[in-house]
Structure 1
Amino acid sequence: MKKEIKTALALLGCSTLSAVGAVGLYDFYKTNHTSEGASHPSEHGQGTFKTVNYTAPALLGTEHAPQDFVDVTERSINGVVNIRAEITMSNRDMGRQYIDPFEFFFGPYNRRNDSRQDQKRPMKVGIGSGVIISTDGYIITNHHVVEDATKLVVTTNDNREWEATVIGSDPATDIALIKIDAKGLSPIPIGDSEKLRVGEWVLAIGNPFNLSSTVTAGIVSAKGRSSMAQGDLRIASFIQTDAAVNSGNSGGALVNTKGELIGINTMIYSQTGNFAGYSFAVPMSIASKVVEDIKKYGTVQRAVLGIVGSNISSDLTKKYDLKITEGAAVVGFADQSPAKSAGVVEGDILTHINKVPVRSMAEVQEQVSKYRPGDKISITLNRKGKEEVINLTLKNAQGTTEAVSKVTASSLGAAFKPLDADGKKRFGISHGVVVAGLDGGKLREAGVPKGFIILSINNVKVSTSDDVDAIVNEVIKESPDKVLFIKGAYPNGKIKYFAVDLS
């Protein structure tokens, strides 16, 4: 085990974590090389400061290279904020972090009447960064910066403070949107991250180790870089740079030499826990769409192609007799795959989405993440050496094209569609919604199957997904029990009842 720990590579979400009187780090630990997922925070000790002398090498084409970054820094620095995320922990929340000495020596005992059970533990404070994107207080940051926070305090570059509200958060992209009640702020204009080129100069602006308004410079080392972590982070197409990024930079700005926001700094790849030359940012082509969805729908409307894809390798080339070496090879399909329905087959190589080249599965993810369920796209693929163009309609993970509400997405994990006229006639009813798809959540936990026809919830008839949302909202806000009593029928007409606990 010790050997495994020593050889494990740390993938850090770059925000700092402290208990009262101590400072640590938010770290992301790499467990294996996968293209999806995020890891979770843990603590490190304080770093040390060392002076470093640096002499810049001579540059080719210096007429296009910046003499310095003063102008772009002055235009951008007021658009980056410090975020303090306060997390209040009770004994039961501490889990393995708190060991009761009585239990250690004498074993578990009945704590029912123990006044220490809900005693508050010292507050933890996470330090991260954020980027102002509107004059009226909208700020973009990382999901892992605000996750589990009981209070968020935003400090602008001129040392003014506001308490912030989380508007929405998306673990799959590690992007969150928060808001402060302020006017006349200095947003950073959003640039086109797809036009960014490898070798281009960029600046990282944030609050590493709680050192406010820190600016570092580097170049774009790669684009469309896959995630090297696992967990919730499923959308993985990062901008890789060598601009120095450390704990506290999470949620900070990556800007080009025009002062345009082209990425949100998210993580580093390191064996030591500190910057080692590799940092990663979520491109604004992904982050902007996430923010738009959160504002409009309360949750991200995520479209899927429904393929299992892989970068091209020698093994895949032999297996499928592939004729080209760039693109994403289709090696399987998800349930209700829109790509499969449109005629894509195993062994096809995706080369373009809406005429935009895709050279890897990460780039396919980046392009698809720009669209919503119901959007129509064209995909160009290579099949046995011949190019084909296929048009298709994207769907969500539940297999529908309908927008998913925040309540349905976060609580029920399901998509619904109205019972059609044929179904109503067959069952002799005038209402009902069909469970069109399941993606985890409370319905699946309760045993409600896909295709089940919901007739009523808590004795209220339902005919649309809006009806379901309204009832769920009311139960969450008003009912002390937080339970849904669902009456419905299987496709064969057999009536069934389910109790769904929302607590």
Structure 2
Amino acid sequence: MKSILKSVGAAVLGGAVVLGSYKTFIEPDTSSKIELAQESILTATPVTYTNNAIPNAVDFTEAAEKTVHAVVHVKNLTVSRGNPTMRDLMYGLVPLRQAVGTGSGVIITKDGYIVTNNHVIENSQALQVTLNDNRTYEAEIIGTEPGSDIALIKIDVDEDLPVVAFGDSDQARIGEWVLAVGNPFNLTSTVTAGIISAKGRDLNTRDQMQQSFIQTDAAVNPGNSGGALVNNRGELIGINTAIQSPTGSYTGYSFAVPSNNARKIIQDLMEYGFVQKGMLGISGGTLNGRAAQELGLQSAEGIYVSEVVEDSGAEKAGLKKGDIITSIDGVRMRSFADLSGYVGSKNPGDFVEATVLRNGKERPISIEITKNSTVTIPELDMDFRDLTNDEKRKYNLDSGALIIGTKNGLADTNLNGYVITKVNDRNVKNVENLKYIMDQTEANQRLILEVKNPQGQTERWRLTVD
């Protein structure tokens, strides 16, 4: 764990500058909690079934046969610090504790690439994958995208493996039948069925960019994280990720990362080793009836644009404050999570066709997806981006890297809006320069960071890199 000591302090103000999106109008938080799958004890309860035939029932056998052999069991061995005893404290010993977590994964290529959740393989010391026929392999991590909770791992095999073909999650419809396929507890693949209950759900459980999940009522329990959500043709339309439950077990709601978003992340990890993040370049929020009335708008559905980011594709395309985005590429935008999810499936340089309501009239606007310069620097456990021209004027700076997020409980206070200007008296030009400087640091090296706080005051932080 890293720690930051401020020698010159000021009250920390919240308020991150968001490049891509944030909500202005949000729904009240639910009292239930989001549970990510971990290993638990399997219990079996006898159930008596009554064989009542369902007229015109959907046949899932073909979809299940296409999927079950391509869903695997993932075992993750982690090592963490345990609670020190008095003897440990006396002799300066660091107790270590082993733990095993489990989840599921989906084979997506015949040569052994597997997609799963980042939280399934997080902090891994060793990874083991068991196929549906009980063959076991050691696996390596190819890349991760924690913000979307997606990870790509690989096993080495001598023969072709069964795979699940990707479907188009944008075409999935509410009310459509789906199967959730997982491999929990190493019992070989299991299948549950349900319907798509909603799309564009934002769980808002992490300090990350907004997510856009597919919500289903197919039963998903601990150990199913990383498994496949498929349609009745056996096409992959989502990666099962979380459940919403007051008890920690399935109670009717489960959520999956849309396959279009997962596929984009996987392709980037395989081609570049990192994820290219694009942005539309607006801030705003989801319209509702009350918000539309307060703004004097006729429409109560769409995305209200409250700010256009400088030098973004939205600004260059002529998008303005007060515009309402009703659809993109023909896909209706009912919530900001819809927008975030759709843009998240695109690469910088792609163009999207937005339908925009302005002064009561609809007009088409072609917008280029521009690069989101947000970068995570693991040595600092922070997310950064470059300063805009307006921010350079605000902070009276020519260069620096703006903090827009902290991770892993690094600080008890909100550091968003602080700008790192120097590391050990080396000027920080931009985010890439900061990343280069941090890549050169060694373990246990002491650093002094010079920063400017949101009030424009200079502070110095002392930091030890793990």
TM-score (norm 2): 0.75
Q: Shift of residue 344 of structure 1?
A: 3.1
SS of 1:15's equivalent in the other structure is coil
What residue number does 2:47 align with? Answer: 51
Which amino acid counterpart does residue 227 of structure 2 have in structure 1?
G
* Equivalent-residue separation in structure 2 for 1:182 and 1:213 (angstroms): 20
Q: Shift of residue 308 of structure 1?
A: 3.1
Instruction: Say if 2:87 is the partner of 1:87.
Output: no
Rate the CA distance shift 1:375–1:125 in 2: closer, same or farther, 3 A. same
Instruction: Say if 2:67 is the partner of 1:76.
Output: yes
Which amino acid counterpart does residue 284 of structure 1 have in structure 2?
S
Q: Shift of residue 307 of structure 1?
A: 2.8
* Equivalent-residue separation in structure 1 for 2:73 and 2:50 (angstroms): 28
Alignment of 1:213-224 (within 5 A): 213-224=189-200
* Equivalent-residue separation in structure 1 for 2:291 and 2:66 (angstroms): 48
Q: Which has the higher strand share?
A: 2
Q: Shift of residue 155 of structure 1?
A: 0.4
SS of 1:172's equivalent in the other structure is helix
**Contact 1:414/1:435, CA 8 A, preserved across alignment:** no
Alignment of 1:33-44 (within 5 A): none
Alignment of 1:239-278 (within 5 A): 239-278=214-253
**Contact 2:103/2:120, CA 8 A, preserved across alignment:** yes
* Equivalent-residue separation in structure 1 for 2:228 and 2:52 (angstroms): 24
* Equivalent-residue separation in structure 2 for 1:352 and 1:80 (angstroms): 35
Which amino acid counterpart does residue 150 of structure 1 have in structure 2?
Q
Which amino acid counterpart does residue 84 of structure 1 have in structure 2?
K
* Equivalent-residue separation in structure 1 for 2:65 and 2:371 (angstroms): 42
Aligned residues: CA RMSD: 3.9
Rate the CA distance shift 1:55–1:345 in 2: closer, same or farther, 3 A. farther
What residue number does 1:204 align with? Answer: 180
**Contact 1:270/1:278, CA 8 A, preserved across alignment:** yes
Alignment of 1:127-206 (within 5 A): 127-183=102-158, 184-206=160-182
> Deviations 1:162-191 (Å, cap 9, x if unpaired)?
121122222221111111122421111111
What residue number does 2:37 align with? Answer: 14
* Equivalent-residue separation in structure 1 for 2:323 and 2:432 (angstroms): 39
**Contact 1:241/1:280, CA 8 A, preserved across alignment:** yes
* Equivalent-residue separation in structure 1 for 2:382 and 2:206 (angstroms): 20
Gaps of 5+ in 2: 1-29, 388-397, 451-458
Rate the CA distance shift 1:360–1:120 in 2: closer, same or farther, 3 A. closer
* Equivalent-residue separation in structure 1 for 2:369 and 2:288 (angstroms): 27
> Deviations 1:240-293 (Å, cap 9, x if unpaired)?
222111111100011122221111111122233222222211110111111112
**Contact 2:34/2:205, CA 8 A, preserved across alignment:** no
**Contact 1:408/1:415, CA 8 A, preserved across alignment:** no
SS of 1:126's equivalent in the other structure is strand
* Equivalent-residue separation in structure 2 for 1:354 and 1:120 (angstroms): 52
Instruction: Say if 2:96 is the partner of 1:120.
Output: yes
**Contact 2:403/2:416, CA 8 A, preserved across alignment:** no
Rate the CA distance shift 1:81–1:16 in 2: closer, same or farther, 3 A. same
SS of 2:110's equivalent in the other structure is coil
What residue number does 1:378 align with? Answer: 353
Rate the CA distance shift 1:110–1:69 in 2: closer, same or farther, 3 A. closer
TM-score (norm 1): 0.70
Q: Report sequence identity in percent.
A: 38
What residue number does 2:11 align with? Answer: none
**Contact 1:408/1:414, CA 8 A, preserved across alignment:** no
* Equivalent-residue separation in structure 1 for 2:75 and 2:182 (angstroms): 13
* Equivalent-residue separation in structure 2 for 1:323 and 1:141 (angstroms): 43
* Equivalent-residue separation in structure 2 for 1:235 and 1:485 (angstroms): 33
* Equivalent-residue separation in structure 1 for 2:227 and 2:292 (angstroms): 40
* Equivalent-residue separation in structure 2 for 1:459 and 1:215 (angstroms): 58
* Equivalent-residue separation in structure 2 for 1:322 and 1:447 (angstroms): 33
Q: Shift of residue 228 of structure 1?
A: 3.0
Relative contact order higher in (CA < 8 Å, ≥ 6 apart): 2
Instruction: Say if 2:320 is the partner of 1:329.
Output: no
* Equivalent-residue separation in structure 1 for 2:52 and 2:39 (angstroms): 30
Alignment of 1:418-433 (within 5 A): none
Rate the CA distance shift 1:481–1:144 in 2: closer, same or farther, 3 A. closer
Rate the CA distance shift 1:210–1:158 in 2: closer, same or farther, 3 A. closer
Q: Shift of residue 198 of structure 1?
A: 2.2
* Equivalent-residue separation in structure 2 for 1:464 and 1:280 (angstroms): 37
Deviates more, 1:275-284 or 1:336-345: 336-345
* Equivalent-residue separation in structure 1 for 2:370 and 2:269 (angstroms): 18
Rate the CA distance shift 1:151–1:482 in 2: closer, same or farther, 3 A. same
Rate the CA distance shift 1:446–1:393 in 2: closer, same or farther, 3 A. closer
SS of 2:137's equivalent in the other structure is strand
Which amino acid counterpart does residue 13 of structure 1 have in structure 2?
L
* Equivalent-residue separation in structure 2 for 1:460 and 1:207 (angstroms): 50
Rate the CA distance shift 1:113–1:278 in 2: closer, same or farther, 3 A. same
Rate the CA distance shift 1:323–1:465 in 2: closer, same or farther, 3 A. closer
* Equivalent-residue separation in structure 2 for 1:270 and 1:56 (angstroms): 30
* Equivalent-residue separation in structure 1 for 2:416 and 2:328 (angstroms): 38
Q: Shift of residue 54 of structure 1?
A: 5.3
Number of residue equivalences: 415
Which amino acid counterpart does residue 288 of structure 1 have in structure 2?
R
